[in-house]
A and B are shown apart, each in its own frame.
Chain A
Amino acid sequence: MIRIILALLITTLSTAVHAGDRFITLASTTSTQNSGLYDYLLPLFTAKTGIEVRVISVGTGQAITIAKNGDADVLLVHHRPSEDAFVAGGYGIERRDVMYNDFVIVGPKSDPAVVSNQTNASGGLMAISETQSLFISRGDESGTHKREKDLWAKAGIMPAGNWYRDIGAGMGAALNMASSVNAYTLSDRGTWLSFGNKGDLGMLLSGDETLFNPYGIILVNPAKHAHVKIDMARSFSNWMVSDEGQKAIGAFTVQNLQLFCPNAHPDQNSDAICPSSKPRN
């Protein structure tokens, strides 16, 4: 009996440990994963190079922690100050611009705060706080949450009170909650477009410069973590900014809408490449 159990154990464990060596781990954000970008993009890269990319998608804050601990080979996130701090701290090397999309303010279609009349994000947030309309905050130190805090600061508001709900959860959870209580929230465009439970929510404000959302790719520094698969990680980073990778990013659509605008080579960008939001510097 015990022999059978041991035999079973050894087989399950050995299959668990055995996996190809040709893989890298990418720490990234939920916004890129939930939109389906990686499902579209990564098979193209794997087909070309034979390198499998394993994606851990968490908030930007957690993704950076994972990379700092050396548990990933590459980092692809969207909060420039944190990215620069990561590189400055010696944890990462060779940061490059990859692509951008933008944030949008979503809320109930009835729009009690009349956010849709505002022309910029600050105005929209001011209207929400003045009317004390329900607002869902991610509260999880993700890239989106950090941007939200920056936007409140820019509008000169310290959001607090019953109407401001800090839920400490991912974008999807925040949208699910906003949809069930008819609240406003800040979302990245990709997650919003591909989100399946919109309910009475609609996109009320977008296109403001302050809502620009750039993504950067950074290699985990092999000097800090010797086990990092730097060559494969670099070939992934190279591919992402290559013409082929950039074209593939631009060609990805959800419901016939382009979600990400490649911007590794800003001089080559044009409005024609990126209809969903204008390229910005």
Chain B
Amino acid sequence: MTIFGQAAELVLSADAELMAVVGLSLRVSLTATLIASLFAIPLGTALAIWQFPLRQVLVVISTSMMALPPVVVGLIIYLLLSRAGPLGSYGILFTPTAMIMAQSVLIFPIVLALTREAILPLDRDYKNLLDAWDVSPLQRLKTLIWDARFAVVTGLLAGFGRALAEVGAVIIVGGNIAGFTRVMTTTIALETSKGNLELALALGIILLSIAVTINTAIHWISSFGRKYQVKR
């Protein structure tokens, strides 16, 4: 009970530092979801509808990549961005940009695989029709993605959830710098290591509430959209 009280107190106090941490969490994870989706949705759709050599291999690889441990992703991005690494001269290690990169890589396979799953059944229904109309490949992609949009959004949410919740990658490439790269999950890890377990749990509850709020909003929008679609 006291933990929930503490969480509520933290939220109500609207502590500037906490708000900055929450804001950065959202900014990093939303941007990462956006970037990953920009590539993963068209590619996932392509994997679902077109036959080409090594397609099955690509499918297996991309699905396996869903099991990538965040720490490994963090480590790879760290080695790339480190001054001793190939992209070191840009100096973006230990910045929010590095965190966005790591999370994009982390959730790309999730969005890809779930998009493919969303498109597959739809393509069975649409294939003959689209073939008959002889639509361009781009138009075919657009049509399928648009008509599968609610299922695709579920994939986006799964990716966003993973990004928002992970700590292993952002703590390595972000460095958990106070006021600069500190996000919700790294704050929770830090407070746990300081033995402030109640505070850590209260922060966890806040993180969860944010996830619930966002998911509720998107669920509401999509159910509204579905209703509209039926009427049409």
Q: In the complex, which residues of chain A have a beta carbon less than 8 angstroms from the beta carbon of B176?
A: 56-57
The size bracket of the interface on A is 35 or more
Contacts of B178 in A (CB 8 A): 38-39, 55
B93 CB contacts on chain A under 8 angstroms: 71
Counting CB contacts under 8 A, is A173 at the interface?
yes
Selected interface stretch from A75-83, A145-153, A190-198, A268-276: A190-198
Q: Does chain A have a CB within 8 A of B35?
A: yes
Cβ contact within 8 Å between A19 and B194: no
B177 cross-chain contacts in A, Cβ below 8 A: 54-56
Question: Which of A6-14, A156-164, A208-216, A240-248 interfaces with chain B?
Answer: A6-14
Q: Which residues in B have their C-beta under 8 angstroms from that of A225?
A: 83
Chain A 58-80 interface 0/1 with B at a Cβ cutoff of 8 Å (1 = within) = 00000000001111000000000
Q: A9-B34, A69-B83, A227-B91 are in contact. Are A195 and B175 (CB under 8 A)?
A: no
Chain B residues with a Cβ closer than 8 Å to the other chain, count: 33
Given the known inter-chain contacts A56-B176, A69-B83, please indicate yes or no for A176 contacting B96, CB distance below 8 A.
no
The 0/1 profile, CB within 8 Å of A marked 1, for residues 29-72 of chain B is 01100110010000000000000000000000000000000000
Q: Which residues of B contact A170 (CB under 8 A)?
A: 193
CA distance A55 to B82 in the complex (A): 16
Residues of B within 8 A of A197 (CB): 195-197
| Complex interface: chain B residues within 8 A of A25 (CB) | 94, 175
- Whether B97 contacts A17 by the Cβ 8 Å rule is yes
In the complex, how many angstroms separate the beta carbon of B30 from the nearest chain A beta carbon? Answer: 7
Contact of A30 with B by CB under 8 A: yes
Find out whether the CB atom of A227 lies under 8 angstroms from the CB atom of B31. no
Determine how close the nearest CB of chain A comes to the CB of B209; give it in whole angstroms.
Answer: 23
Q: Whole-angstrom distance between the alpha carbons of A34 and B192 in the complex?
A: 11
> Do A54 and B196 have beta carbons less than 8 Å apart?
no
Q: A5 at the A/B interface (Cβ < 8 Å)?
A: yes
Find A172's partner among B84, B96, B192 (CB 8 Å cutoff): B192
**Quick one: which of A68, A70, A175 contacts B88, CB cutoff 8 A?**
A70
Known contacts A8-B34, A69-B83; A175 and B195 CB within 8 A of each other: yes
Interface residues, chain B, CB within 8 Å of chain A? 27, 30-31, 34-35, 38, 82-85, 88-89, 91-97, 100, 175-178, 180, 190, 192-197, 199
